[in-house]
Chains A and B, each alone.
Chain A
């Protein structure tokens, strides 16, 4: 009892100092989300969508502008400093974090365009999530053409969590950010307008497995707290450098926190949720998860492993090698057998996570900048690909079965051509951004002494190229099925999403240097401690 009351008495509580300016991108996004909830409460149903669009898109644009202005603050990076730790050590504002946040905001903007698409009668979201599928209640909602506009505030909350997650400088903030980003995504997964049962099932699987993994993450945090007496990343790093007494706690903590983070990335063997959730969720939400969530999760993983476990590279590197190899190979090989285009893209996303992990293993500034570049260009290509998926439809909704995509190139050459371009970028063909990204991560991995990983990565890319090319062949060289899907003309928003994805894939494929330079500038001083 004495030690505790002593600690309480000795602690003189002073008001914390909060750097609102440097936190402003986060505050704007969360503020926009809260404003969205108010819109839901007080604005009549028919006018809500317009309000939400202004708030969500405006909030993201403002957040991007604020990120630029923080990044351009000379005092923040004076004297070669990597950045600042703000909010009493809870949040780090540094080069990599600002790059990741900027990437997330751009990707989220394009995803919100996709989420907002409703030019073909109805939005992709359920009229009433609470109505039982197939009931009279649900039919009534569908006939009235209503849909859940809560998706906008939910998306903004998730995006805010995603921006906080890689910035969190202590593991408690990181856990709260993890939940803030996950909980809205669980709900968004279950809101599909069509195929409600599959959508609900995806939500349940994502929720149960996600909660399971965050329990592991949290237990790991408890172990690290027990080891070092603090949850701050730099304090854990300092303890790891000096304290060798209770290494069991340290290694258990690293393993459990690693499991929680690798789950969010969808690395093998923690990938089982990804295909199910990507297939069942509304495609616009899948695009959000496949781009923004992956970027954010990698940002968190990079920060934890580079800052807190930065001196223990030799301890975690072998395990990370294994995970990277398994992820690349399993993702690429299982993708071959897929017959659903969204599931195929999910396994492709798993394989791409493995490619980024090869750069993470390097644990150098080059590895960090290569990861940042890869995540940015891969995210834009992914959103474009999922935007195309939303356009290929049959009477039951989206036609996701690959057999229905046969001969699509003969019926709508433009759409099939754009999709083929995205697939070639995934495969890493030169003159696409995918090639530049793969080249960067493999170069960093090789320079970091992980040549075997690079060789396996190239082999996995070859396997992956096989199934991407197979889909292209299917689209252009087989006869269209008689009951084939219709390709709807893209609305303004979906068209914009496809165009942004395609333009980014092309531009960063032909001229990757400016973005590469920005990424290596951002990563030059690693993370702030």
Chain B
């Protein structure tokens, strides 16, 4: 029940998400890793809200959830479109744009 532990957990989750974005090749998995990062942020906000005894952090977590949902919808639409035209969701196959 020590808020500091939750912050540490949030940092760990955030790093897992960030590393996942960098090493995974499937756009959908990258996207899920980004969502993991956002959820880690939410955990950090709630933990800090407990630490400071204010409810700002919890309110911010609400906003983050709504924004993340909007991001999911926009992102899924883009990824679906690209998957339907290429039959692949690998970011390595998306290589028309370079140099």
Interface residues of chain A, those whose CB is within 8 Å of chain B, are: 3-4, 6-8, 11, 129-130, 132-134, 172, 175-176, 179, 183, 186-187, 190, 196-198, 200-205, 207-208, 211-212, 215-216, 218-219, 221-223, 225-226, 229-231, 275-276, 279-280, 337-339, 343
Q: Which chain B residues lie closer than 8 Å to A343 at the CB level? A: 99
Can you give 8 A-B contacts (C-beta < 8 A)?
A4-B50, A183-B70, A186-B78, A190-B78, A204-B79, A204-B82, A211-B71, A229-B52
Interface residues of B in 53-99 (CB under 8 A from A): 53-57, 60, 63-64, 67, 70-71, 74-75, 77-79, 81-82, 84-86, 91, 94, 96-99
Q: Which chain A residues lie closer than 8 Å to B81 at the CB level? A: 129-130, 190, 200, 203
Q: Please tell me if the beta carbons of A7 and B54 are within 8 angstroms of each other in the complex.
A: yes
Q: Which chain A residues lie closer than 8 Å to B57 at the CB level? A: 225
- The count of residues in chain B whose C-beta lies closer than 8 Å to any C-beta of chain A is 48
CA distance A134 to B87 in the complex (A): 14
B64 nearest CB neighbor, chain A only? A218
Q: Please tell me if the beta carbons of B30 and A208 are within 8 angstroms of each other in the complex.
A: yes
**Which listed residue, B34, B41, B48, touches A211 by the CB 8 Å rule?**
B34
Q: Please tell me if the beta carbons of B41 and A279 are within 8 angstroms of each other in the complex.
A: no
Q: Please tell me if the beta carbons of B94 and A201 are within 8 angstroms of each other in the complex.
A: yes
B17 nearest CB neighbor, chain A only? A215
Q: Which chain B residues lie closer than 8 Å to A172 at the CB level? A: 60, 63
CA distance A455 to B43 in the complex (A): 46
Interface residues of chain B, those whose CB is within 8 Å of chain A, are: 7, 10, 14, 17-18, 21, 27, 30-31, 34, 37-38, 40-41, 44-45, 47-48, 50-57, 60, 63-64, 67, 70-71, 74-75, 77-79, 81-82, 84-86, 91, 94, 96-99
Q: Please tell me if the beta carbons of B27 and A204 are within 8 angstroms of each other in the complex.
A: yes
Q: Please tell me if the beta carbons of B41 and A218 are within 8 angstroms of each other in the complex.
A: yes
Q: Which chain A residues lie closer than 8 Å to B94 at the CB level? A: 201, 204-205
CA distance A130 to B98 in the complex (A): 25
Q: Please tell me if the beta carbons of B34 and A231 are within 8 angstroms of each other in the complex.
A: no
Q: Please tell me if the beta carbons of B99 and A3 are within 8 angstroms of each other in the complex.
A: no
Q: Please tell me if the beta carbons of A7 and B51 are within 8 angstroms of each other in the complex.
A: no
Least CB distance from B86 to A in Å reads 7
Find the residue from A179, A183, A218, A343 having the highest chain B CB count within 10 A.
A218
CA distance A231 to B74 in the complex (A): 27
CA distance A343 to B96 in the complex (A): 13
Besides A179-B67, A200-B82, A212-B21, 6 more A-B contacts (Cβ < 8 Å) are A183-B71, A187-B78, A207-B75, A223-B44, A229-B48, A276-B98
